[in-house]
């Protein structure tokens, strides 16, 4: 099962908060993603922390990932976690 989302907010903290809400929504619809929630959010935070503060720009986060299993979702056989963060013009 996989997930993908993009959020934008005026500040890094607000963008991370939106990402957390998106991931909670993903877990609600795909409960096995509770297994990679901590790692995915850590990856998102690491990407955001690399950005230089720019109060004139908004922060956009894009994240996607997947978990693989053969027959039992609790026995993960593969994982992918990706996060991107960048500044965008405030009017976008």
| CA dihedral sign, ordered 39, 3, 69, 31 | positive
Question: Is the CB of residue 23 less than 8 Å from the CB of residue 15?
Answer: no
Each domain of the chain, given as residue ranges in start order, spans 2-89
Span 1-30, pLDDT tens digits: 899 999 999 999 999 999 999 999 999 999
Any idea which residue has 């099962």 for tokens?
1
The pLDDT score that the predictor gives to residue 70 is 87
pTM for the full model?
0.92
Tell me how far apart the alpha carbons of residues 54 and 44 are, in angstroms, rounded to a whole number.
18
Residues in the chain: 92
Over residues 35-50, the pLDDT tens digits come to: 999 999 999 999 999 9
């Amino acid at each position: 099962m996989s997930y993908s989302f993009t959020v934008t907010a005026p500040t890094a903290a607000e963008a991370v908060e939106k990402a957390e809400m998106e991931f909670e929504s993903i877990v609600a619809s795909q409960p096995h993603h509770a297994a990679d929630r901590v790692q995915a959010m850590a990856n998102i935070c690491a990407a955001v922390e690399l950005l230089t503060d720019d109060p004139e720009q908004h922060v956009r986060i894009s994240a996607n990932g997947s978990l693989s299993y053969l027959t039992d979702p609790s026995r993960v056989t593969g994982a992918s976690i990706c996060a991107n963060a960048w500044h965008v013009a405030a009017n976008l």
